[in-house]
Chain A
Amino acid sequence: MFRTFLSLRYLKARKTNWIGMAGILVAVGALVLILSIMAGFLEESRRTLRGNLADLVIQPSFQSSVLQENGDWVPMQTDVERMLEIIREDPGVAAATPQLQWYGIFAPDGGESALEKPMQDAIQLIELVGIDVEGEGEATDFRESLETEFGKKPGLGKHCNVGRPADLDDPFVNLREIRQRRTRPKVPILVGEQLAYLWGLRRGQEVSLVTATYDENSSKLNETAANARFQVVGSFRSKDNETDSRRIYMDRRALADFLQRDRLWSAVLVKLNDYKRDKEAVRARLWSKLHAEGFLSAPGIRINEFRTWEDFRATLLAAIQNEKALMGIMLSLVLVVAGFTVFALLSMMVTEKRRDIGILCALGATPRGVLALFLMIGLWEAVIGSAFGALVGVLGAYNIDAIERKLSSTFGFQIFNRDIYLFDYIPAEVSVSGVAWIVGGAVFSTLLFAAIPAWRASRLDPVEALRHE
């Protein structure tokens, strides 16, 4: 009984113990706050980095044959309908759609002249993506990228003269004013918002696209380059800068025509019901099924054939994750400093309280009881300090945006520059398990630091201790 009673009494009576508690509070509060902000950044960045990528992207290598488990070579299958059928059968799959992807050169002022006198400021390498509007909308954030309100983010939107397509359900329909002209309408395209902005594109403008096609039978590049005029009918904003500055969407068949290609697809995009939970399981299942049917090489042989969206952004995601881990490690050092404070304060206390320790021994306290008494003082400091620290950290994380705005307006300079990021608020995501780990770690490390002076106290010779004045 005396351990709890006395430890609380010492804690209350000796204000110096509060310094240790305050140290733990600051350390835990900072850890919770910073890691919540980093987690928010990571989550927000994941959304941003993802852009219009689908959960899973299957890109067959289109070799002539596939080696099966039994050692037989079977011709590689290219029937996309059969492939979609297999994919859609999987219980984890929500939607799947084919896509045709190729690369080209964007030359707004005319393809031939651009190629005759190639100048870097007149052309740009671009990604040509042929889609089925409905399927794309189901499997990716395509629809959302069309709906994005321009001008929400300061700076860019208002300078983009293209804007949303006229009909969101059928974005590749040519504009009415163009349809009314007598001339043969050009193939409508949707350009990324950044691309439109950089090249000063206007709605309805005709642009040239140049590409090299290849002969599917010989798999050789055709010497003749495809060159055609297209009509800008709208722009999109996918959150991913890279996509928005180099991607052009058009109808899948129109792209195949442009490329003079028989096969209308190069990839299948898959959306899962629960990406986080099922991604690996579905990938494994689909890969082996598609391999068995001759669509893909054996699982793991050509990893590019079957990727999650995170595989495409692995480096950037790892970088942010890494930053979070580094931040955690650096801030844990603050916790170590707080632990040292507790160690120093308790050591001082043991020296000051030597006589009390002697008295307790004379009254029948065991060395273990004395050890527990001082450990308990450390425990209270850790528990109270980290509980308040966690509270401060969580409240801070939930209100970080308001706090930053208040601080910025008070001090007259912007702490968080919202123009740098694609999100205009400071994201924070509080994870209950994360907070629990931090609090647990703080309590554990404080107890570890408290253990040394507590052990010293328990080893004191009561006779020596009683003589202490």
Chain B
Amino acid sequence: MTLPSDGPIPTGSLPGGSLPGGPIPGSTVPSGQLRTEPVLACAGVRRSFPVGERRLEILHGINLELRAGERLALMGTSGAGKTTLLHILGLLDRPTEGSVYVAGQDAWSLSARRRANLRNEKIGFVFQFYHLLPELSALENAVLPAMIKLSRRAFRSNRAEFLDRATTMLTRFGLADRLGHRPSQLSGGEQQRIAIARALLLDPPILIADEPTGNLDRGTGEKVLEILLDEQSERGVALMLVTHDERLAKRCERVLYMEDGLIQADSSAPIPT
């Protein structure tokens, strides 16, 4: 079955994805890999910022697909545009041009409210600096996405379930005796484990991690990474990981190298030296 490369696209299950626009030109899927539907994709994404009277272009047209359960590492030098791309894919930043598709929906064609819902339900974030709310305990931080998702009444009726889910996760991550602690009372590794629990609370299909071990010592980083990767594979979540760590990248199925706002290489191709 041939696919149109542009023009109106019928919705439904398509080999190569159900994205409007069909398979994104330039997107790469390693040959031989099972082609599941992409949960996250972007097409022709450009991002520029005004600098004085000129505009500085950070991303020059990125096409990308992330499939369910896929583990993808995004590498590149500092300033290559990795974090900007991550923010765009996480719907935190709007591309100057191009589209972002989350679970088949063109995110920027939606209302701010529906886009926020999409972010809440479909995407889990793990940041380098953990980004926990200092006023909340470990457990409260972990259930925050549920609080944001639900109305007061709905949360109250499901409170026990969410608390239970968060407690189970935190216990599994070795934080059973830290549930009531504030972030300031916890180590970096502990905080990052809470951040992982928070990202996974609503079982999102997409997990975006921005150098999740970048702020941790090697040993702690290893432990946190084990937790992250275990959960990812266990839950079949698509993971998009920004990292500078080659060893970590090697544990991913796909590695993309970014340079000057473009994806220069894919792990299916030889890594440039």
Contacts and interface: CB of A to CB of B under 8 A. Distances in A.
Nearest to B149: A364
A5 B150 CA distance: 12
Interface string A451-469: 0000000000111001001
Interface string A1-24: 110111001100110000000000
A306 B150 CA distance: 68
Q: How large is the interface on A (under 10, 10 to 19, 20 to 34, 35 or more residues)?
A: 20 to 34
A2 B148 CA distance: 5
Interface in A306-354: none
A432 interface: no
Contact of A463 (B93, B116, B133, B148): B93
A358 B92 CA distance: 9
A366 B92 CA distance: 11
Interface residues of B, number: 32
Contacts, number: 74
Given A2-B147, A463-B92, A466-B127, A364 B119 contact: yes
Contacts of A355: 131
B21 to A, nearest CB: 25
A365 B149 CA distance: 8
Given A2-B144, A360-B148, A463-B87, A366 B131 contact: no
B145 A1 contact: no
Given A463-B93, A466-B127, A5 B120 contact: no
A364 B136 contact: no
B101 interface: no
Contacts of A369: 116, 148
Given A367-B112, A466-B92, A359 B147 contact: no
Interface string A355-380: 11011111111111100000000000
B152 A10 contact: no
Residue with the greatest number of chain B CB neighbours at <10 A, chosen from A358, A361, A362: A362
Given A1-B150, A367-B112, A9 B135 contact: yes
Interface of A: 1-2, 4-6, 9-10, 13-14, 355-356, 358-369, 461-463, 466, 469
28 contacts: A1-B148, A1-B150, A1-B152, A1-B156, A2-B144, A2-B147, A6-B135, A356-B133, A356-B134, A358-B92, A359-B133, A361-B116, A362-B131, A363-B120, A363-B125, A363-B145, A363-B198, A364-B120, A364-B145, A366-B112, A366-B116, A367-B112, A368-B112, A368-B113, A369-B116, A462-B92, A463-B92, A466-B92
Per CB-CB distance, the 5 closest pairs between chain A and chain B, nearest first, are A364-B120, A2-B147, A1-B155, A366-B116, A13-B135
